[in-house]
Amino acid sequence: MKSTEEIKEIISKLTLEEKASLCSGDTFWFTKAIPDKNVPKIFVSDGPVGLRKQENVEDNLGMNESIKAVCFPAGVGMAATFNKELYGFMGETLGEECRAENVAVILGPAVNIKRSPLCGRNFEYLSEDPFLASEMSTSYIKGVQSKHVGTSIKHFAVNNMETRRFSASSNLSERALREIYLAAFEGPVKNAAPWTVMCSYNKINGEFASQNKKILTDILRDEWGFKGNVVSDWGAVSDRAKALKAGLNLEMPTSYGENDKKLIEAVKKGELDEKVIDENCFSLLKLVYDAYDNIGNSDEFKFDRDLHHNIARDIAAETFVLLKNEGNVLPLSKDLSIAVVGPYAQNPRFQGGGSAHINCHKIESFLDACKENRIEKITYAQGFSPVSDVYDEKLCEEAVNIAKEADVTLIFAGLPDIFESEAYDRKHMQMPSCQLKVINEVCKVAKKSVIALHNGSPIEMPFVDEVDAILECYLGGQAVGGAQYDIIFGDKSPSGKLAETFPLKLEDNPSYLNFPGCRNDVNYAEDIFVGYRYYDKKKMNVLFPFGFGLSYSEFKYDNLKLSKEEINENEELTVTVDITNIGKREAKEAVELYVKNCESDIIRPIREFKGFDKVNLLPGETKTVTFKLNKRSFAYFDERIMDWAVPSGTYEIEIGKSSRDIVLSRKVNITSTPILPDSYDYDTIMQHLLEDKRIEECLGKYINFTKDDREKSDVEKESMNEEMEYSSFLFSPLRSGLYFSAGKIRYKDIDAFLEEANRIISDKKS
């Protein structure tokens, strides 16, 4: 650690060339050192669910070897735990591994919103909902950083597909940007202060994220108060000088001096003030010295990989989502005869491809765990290929034969590695047809069938009615098999819930028409209606809704209480609800809170997810869960004022078992300051004038225009109903008073009103 003065002193002794050189990496993973000027280097590493520390040949797509490490469950599963403490604990565990391996910054968490089920990196990302992504990643960052290791929340921002990821422009409204895409980053930046933020490859509304001043400086630093360093995604820099001015501190990896030269040229040409480079070096060296303190004392942090494997197993069990359990077929009794079908029972698919790919120190399959626990009445057939989509009749026959003989058949199926990875998107949402065929044949003969799924993103499930149970295991990390054992045989109850909607088919997804866009443009035409926000608004059937997940136990929710029934927009609202385990076994349950805006002329989703907590309950036990809601829980982003706003009115606080299963709700009335226009004029409509009580009063003073005073014909009188009359009044511009009042209202009345009304709103604003 060095003081501000010491760092400034060091910078004052560096040449322009040396300072420019610090603005980019030295190698693939190291920052630059200047040993004779006392500047050390630090090592950064992928992440985020295990260490991908490469010591020899380097790459950013996880192809060359990295050190042996522990692979924890992928982001998709971690979000499904709905357990902030658990994700924080995983962060702490990883932080310890980083310390032991002299890693200064781990490159994660990855929090981009799942706009389409097709995005190749969905397995790394957390959710379709920004609140869930934001809360979960806040815990992870706090966990890692509690070990004095930095994080790099990524990919900032609006990077929701892999197709043309280096060039595509994500084009979206300010409202969608703020409410959906930036919100996943905003919470963690404000509440967990990540040491670094990694900017994304793509453009946002036409400007590269790496040189986007609005995103990197105006919003990230000025609005959210970010004090750390922005690191480029690997190779994301286009114009280095522009990027530096926009707020990009560190270019990664090295550009072999080419972009450093560009900075020097820009200074020499007078296009870049050297002070900007000095300030940047100050910011970077603060990070380097701070982190460097830990390097070299890794002995203190020796960790036991086997112990971390067991932690990974415990965590994985909580990531699984039980989607169906007809006749309570799960959990299985250990005495049953069990047919196990599918290669993933033996060689599980437990992680995704690309930069998140870990070189695991060991892998535990379901069959390994069964063997270790002496489950004896087990037969196994591969059934289909784990890597390709070629149907093999012999393999299928073997599977059918063992299924016929067994009490229950477990099928381990899902997506092969090549189906989902960084660098490309999926083309469809289907599982390999060879797997579907085997599932179909096996289900015809099996007495009971259970399917365990290994996939990183939603799939279509044509077998949903054929199987008795579905356990979504996502990509559960290296200990996935042990965790499957724990859940399938009931040592633990499943408690995961979906952090994303499973649509019935790809075409139902709101981004369908605009994914992956056209040439270099992808228009986010669905706007704020991402995931359940869209399916709910359109009242569409889905395969499994956001927030859904079954348990082996049952829970009763009651006693929903609000601290107040009336609040103003700046007051906090405390919500409590009791949850009781009315089943026969200990189990965890995620309690979900949604906010519904009942009456508003603002276009809004039906409900939005605004609170969650996970509780562990013994049979018969009751716990009270408390939520604190604030202005942001009720707000939308208003582009007129470029700020968050809460429309006055009634809101419902809903407690749900999922977004489609609301079990309790209570109303609260919120009063807020209306958003007023800059001024009123002849064309302002009545509805907008009546939004403010004071303007309404003022209107009454000058203009008595409440209905149509014109002489009406009989036909007119007959066809005019109340709603028609009221609406035509409400939507009429002020100037229409001239003729609707049959000459009673004159310009002088309107002018007098406008003068006073405009004075009122300008007084209010100043």
Question: How many angstroms from the chain centroid is the CA of residue 747?
Answer: 54
CB of 75 to ligand BGC, least distance (A): 11
Catalytic residue (choose from 46, 129, 233, 708): 233
- State the nearest-atom distance from the C-beta of 434 to ligand BGC, in Å: 31
For tokens 């996970």, name the residue: 614
CB closer to ligand BGC, 115 vs 492: 115
Q: Judged by CB, which is closer to ligand BGC: 124, or 654?
A: 124
Element (H, E) at 454: strand 449-454
Q: Are 211 and 243 in contact (CB under 8 A)?
A: yes
Residues in 63-92 at the binding interface with ligand BGC, rule: CB under 6 A: none
Q: How far is the CB of 43 from ligand BGC (least distance, A)?
A: 13
| The pairing of beta strand 449-454 with beta strand 469-472 | parallel
DSSP string, 549-583: -B-SS-EEEEEEEES-SEEETTS-EEEEEEEEE-S
Residue whose structure tokens are 């079990």 = 663
- By CB under 6 A, residue 441 contacts ligand BGC: no
131-148 core/surface letters (b: 16 or more CB in 10 A; e: else): bbbbbbbbbbbbbbbebe
Write the DSSP symbol of residue 270.
Answer: T
DSSP 349-403: --S-BSTT--EES----HHHHHHHTT--SEEEE--S-SS-----HHHHHHHHHHH
Q: Which single residue is written with the structure tokens 């443009």?
A: 521
Q: Would you count residue 425 as binding ligand BGC (CB under 6 A)?
A: no
Q: What are the C-alpha distances in Å from 546 to residues 321, 530, 559, 633?
A: 11, 11, 24, 18
Instruction: Give, as ranges, the residues between 226 and 255 that touch ligand BGC (CB under 6 A).
Output: 233-234
Contacts of residue 570, Cβ cutoff 8 Å, sequence gap at least 6: 631
Cα 501 to Cα 114: distance, rounded to the nearest angstrom = 10
Radius of gyration of the chain (CA): 29
Instruction: Give the angle 471-476-477 at the CA atoms, nearest 5°.
Output: 160
> For residue 583, which of 558, 561, 550 has the smallest C-alpha distance?
550
Instruction: Tell me which residue of 206, 198, 201, 182 sits closest to 231, measured CA to CA.
Output: 198
Task: Say if strands 521-523 and 169-171 run parallel, antiparallel, or are unpaired.
Answer: parallel
The C-alpha angle 249, 253, 258, rounded to 5 degrees, equals 85
Instruction: Give, as one character, the DSSP assignment of residue 221.
Output: I
* b/e burial code for range 327-354 (CB count within 10 A of at least 16 → b): eebbbbeeeeebbbbbbbbbebbbbbbb
- Neighbouring-strand partners of residue 608: 595
- Residue with token string 């609000």: 562
Q: Is 486 in the site for ligand BGC (CB under 6 A)?
A: no
667 — phi, psi (to 5°)? -100, 145
Please say whether the dihedral angle defined by the alpha carbons of residues 643, 209, 603 and 737, taken in this order, is positive or negative.
Answer: positive
* Residue whose C-alpha is closest to residue 435's, from 477, 385, 474, 398: 385
Q: Site residues for ligand BGC, window 133-172 (CB under 6 A)?
A: 154-155
Residue showing tokens 């009345």: 749
Helices 480-488, 305-319: axis angle to 10 degrees equals 50
CB 357 within 8 A of CB 533: no
Cα dihedral 364/369/370/372 (nearest 10) = 120
- Indicate if 306 belongs to the active site: no
Q: Within positions 104 to 133, which residues make up the interface with ligand BGC, using CB under 6 A?
A: 107
How many chain residues touch ligand BGC (CB under 6 A)? 8
- d(CA 622, CA 404) in angstroms, rounded, equals 44
DSSP 8-state symbol, 258: H
**φ and ψ at residue 442, rounded to 5 degrees:** -65, -40
Helices and strands per DSSP (H, E), number in the chain: 24, 27
CB of 203 to ligand BGC, least distance (A): 15
Dihedral pair phi/psi, residue 692, rounded to 5°: -120, 125
The one-letter amino acid code at 19 reads: K
Question: By rule CB under 6 A, what string of x and - marks binding of each residue 335-364 to ligand BGC?
Answer: --------------------x---------
CB of 161 to ligand BGC, least distance (A): 12
Binding to ligand BGC by CB under 6 A, coded x per residue (else -) over 30-59, reads ----------------x-------------
Q: Strands 587-597 and 608-617: what pairing?
A: antiparallel
What positions carry a catalytic annotation?
233
Q: Which residues bind ligand BGC (CB under 6 A)?
A: 46, 60, 107, 154-155, 233-234, 355
